[in-house]
């Protein structure tokens, strides 16, 4: 599935680095439950982040999803 909808999306690391524009993107996959996992590894601080781009118009961190207990 082409990710054209990602154009114009900004993903910010905890350190403030914008990861869409600097090549921090790692992978865009689905797990066995059909959940979207878009992985970014920050070029500046090395922190790896796992996002879901499917459930909202903006990327939601899986950490936040799990904390909200959907
Ligand atoms: Zn960072």
Residues 6+ apart with CB under 8 A from 36: 28, 29, 30, 51, 52, 53, 54, 55
50 φψ region: left (φ > 0), alpha (ψ -120 to 50), beta (else): beta
pTM of the full structure: 0.80
Taking residues 32-47, report their average pLDDT. Answer: 97
Distance from the first to the final alpha carbon of the chain: 26
- The domain tally of the chain equals 1
Q: Is residue 13 part of a domain?
A: no
Higher pLDDT, residue 4 or 54: 54
What range defines the domain where residue 37 resides?
25-63
Ligand 1 ion: residues within 5 Å (CB): 13, 15, 17, 42, 44-45, 47
Q: Quick check: 11 and 19 in contact, CB under 8 A?
A: yes
pLDDT confidence bin for 1, thresholds 50/70/90? very low
Q: Is residue 6 part of a domain?
A: no
Structure tokens at 22: 């600097």
Q: Is residue 33 part of a domain?
A: yes
For 20, half-sphere exposure in the C-beta direction (CA atoms, 13 angstrom radius) is 13
**CA 45 to ligand 1 center in whole angstroms:** 4
Q: Is residue 9 part of a domain?
A: no
Residue 12 has pLDDT above 80, yes or no: yes
Taking residues 48-56, report their average pLDDT. Answer: 93
């Amino acid at each position: 599935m082409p990710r054209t909808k990602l154009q114009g999306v900004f993903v910010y690391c905890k350190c403030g680095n914008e990861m869409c524009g600097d090549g921090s993107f790692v992978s865009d996959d689905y797990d066995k439950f059909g959940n979207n996992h878009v992985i970014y590894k920050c070029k500046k601080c090395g922190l790896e982040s796992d996002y879901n781009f499917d459930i909202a118009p903006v990327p939601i961190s899986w950490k936040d999803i799990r904390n909200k207990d959907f």
